[in-house]
Amino acid sequence: MSSLAIVLCVQRTFFQSCRHLSSSKRAFGSLRLPPTVSGTHFRSNSPLDNSIAAIQRHPFVIFHRDYASKKGGKKSKGSPQINTNILSEFINVDEMTQEMASAIDVLKSEYAKSLSLRSAGSVESIKVKFEGKEYELQQIAKLSRKGQQTIVVDMLSFPQMTKAVMDTLKTSAMNLNPQQEGTTIFIPIPKVTKEHREILAKKAKALFIVCRDSIKRIQENNIRELRDSPMADSEKQSAYKQIKALADKYVADSEAVMKGKQDELMGK
């Protein structure tokens, strides 16, 4: 066997040993074969020993890097950083974000209008429309309790608004059954059951899904605009990722609103 073949064989054996060491040890910066002591010459009758000496006179370095991984051994994938300055070169970012934010505003409005527990606090904040303006019930009426299950609404200060209050209470999302006696309104408030809370929590999720789908449609509409543009494919892919990351952020915000509402409805 020639000296060159022996050297290559030794190098291959060394690399295999390093690979085994790398798998058994979490991390190490670099591995270097020790050079020969200055002024000392390694001599041997063994071709293998002489080959090792040759490698020692020309040391090489092997670098190894370990990457942080998730549980289960999978490498983590970070979401792309949102850079609106870059994205604004391709689409109207302000318009897109306003549309996504509006979807969340609609969700909050629907929660306030459609998902309220039948309680004294909820009744007080009911909005009553009268002559083109809106008033909270507690601003135009005196509210009190009669026992544990009845709210009394005294409209003596604004008797002309009694009919508007009755109409508002009857059509509210709280499914109330008000009874009127002159300028006094009696509102029975049944005890809120766990089943009723769970039904409202499911409705909260259904409204969130509508909001989420609306945000995703806005995402797809903006991506569709870019598909036919003269941009380079690499730029398009970058823009797609930016738009998706932005939409994901608004979806996460709307989900947080939903969870907050569900906690409120379940009494947490």
pLDDT tens-digit map of 148-178:
789 999 999 999 999 999 999 998 877 788 9
Q: Output the average pLDDT for the chain.
A: 76
Q: What is the tens place of the pLDDT at every residue in 226-240?
A: 887 777 888 888 889
pLDDT score for 80: 61
Least confident of 29-33, 132-136, 184-188: 29-33
Give the per-residue pLDDT at 63.
Answer: 33
First to last CA, the chain: 80
In this prediction, residues 183-206 reach a mean pLDDT of 90
User: Global pTM?
Assistant: 0.57
Of the spans 174-178, 192-196, 263-267, which averages the highest pLDDT? 263-267
> How many other CB atoms are found less than 10 A from the CB of residue 189?
19
Say if residues 42 and 36 touch (Cβ distance below 8 Å): yes
DSSP β-bridge partners for residue 154:
142, 184
Q: Quote the tokens at residue 47.
A: 């071709």
Residue tagged 């009696």 (tokens): 186
CB 170 within 8 A of CB 126: no
143: left (phi over 0), alpha (psi -120 to 50) or beta: beta
Contact 3, 10 (CB under 8 A): no
Output 116 or 115, whichever has higher pLDDT. 115
Residue 257 reports pLDDT greater than 80:
yes
In the numeric block, the tokens 């806005």 are attached to 218
Backbone angles phi, psi at 150, to 5 degrees: -135, 135
User: How far is it, in rounded angstroms, from Cα 68 to Cα 110?
Assistant: 43
Least reliable range by pLDDT among 34-43, 110-119, 176-185, 228-237: 34-43
State residue 179's pLDDT score.
94
Which domains does the chain possess?
Answer: 3-63 (no CATH), 84-110+194-265 (1.10.132.20), 118-188 (3.30.1360.40)
């459609």: which residue's tokens? Answer: 114
pLDDT at site 75: 46
Residue 211: pLDDT above 50?
A: yes
Q: Which helix H or strand E contains 200, and what residues bound it?
A: helix 194-227
Question: What are the DSSP calls for 211-234, one per residue?
Answer: HHHHHHHHHHHHHHHHHTSS--HH
* Greater pLDDT, 56 or 100: 100
Which of 75-84, 101-110, 117-126, 253-262 comes out lowest in average pLDDT?
A: 75-84
- Phi–psi pair at 114, nearest 5 degrees: -110, -20
Token pair for 266: 């379940």
Residue 191 has pLDDT above 80, yes or no: no
Specify whether the backbone of 27 is left (phi greater than 0), alpha (psi in -120 to 50) or beta.
Answer: beta
